[in-house]
Amino acid sequence: MQYIHQVPEPVEGPPVMTSHAMLRTPGLTSRSQSTSNAKDRPLASRYIAGRLGAVALACLVSLPAAAGDTPEFDVAADGTVVGRIVVDAPAAQVRRAADAANRAPAGNVLDLTFKPAGDCEHVERKTRGIWSPLTMKTRWCPTEHGWRELLVNSDSYTTYESEWQIRDTTSGATEIQVRVRTAVNLAVPSSLVRQGTIDGMRNTFTKVLERLVAPRAAE
């Protein structure tokens, strides 16, 4: 199934999360499910529950569209995590948003520094670990459709390869595909490392979508 994440046209006021994203939001139930046991609850409890439901729905409606979007993830045979998301915005705009999102520390990334290195850049990154922060230095180089990042040195990582590809689709939307392969010299299961990669990728996708929504909300 292909998820196409729409960036709203310029409007007055805050952006609104799309209805299909609201329906996929954990914790929301259908009307029949939420009212099936209503008659068994005291009137006061039913009133409070109804008010809380209204408040929760109002909060969801006020969130940016990015909050409810769901990218797709796969793990290749060699352990590479592949993430994919389709966004209803021009490729050039998506690339600018993705570049900005990758240069700002967020989620498990505690510190991030870019330094020029010829046609590329050296990236010094510190991420949250299980017992202590993990550090590494990589070489970040632009490509025709995005960029590629390879490990230079690290006391924590033995492998780090990351590639972003941002392309136009035949439908007029833009596809982001990210491939990341990591390995650490720590006594932790590879499944835990992969899950951390997926969580970080999901967080970055959310940051990209938020940057696409924010400029239009401000117009």
Same domain membership, residue 85 and residue 50: no
Average per-residue pLDDT in the chain? Answer: 74
Q: Cα–Cα distance between 165 and 133 in angstroms, integer?
A: 28
With a pLDDT cut of 70, the percent of the chain lying above it is 66
Say what the pLDDT of residue 91 is: 94
Mind listing the pLDDT tens digit for each residue in 3-30? 455 544 444 443 333 333 322 333 323 3
Same domain membership, residue 174 and residue 123: yes
Q: Who's near 192: CB < 8 A, 6+ residues apart?
A: none
Same domain membership, residue 138 and residue 109: yes
Residue 101: name the closest of 11, 213, 183 by CA: 213
Same domain membership, residue 111 and residue 45: no
Mind listing the pLDDT tens digit for each residue in 169-196? 988 899 999 999 999 888 888 888 899 8
Q: Rounded to an integer, what is the distance from CA 143 to the centroid of its chain?
A: 21
Please indicate, yes or no, if residue 3 is contained in any of the structural domains: no
Whether 87 contacts 205, CB under 8 Å: no
Whether 68 contacts 24, CB under 8 Å: yes
- The H-or-E segment that residue 112 falls in is strand 109-117
Range of the domain at 198: 71-217
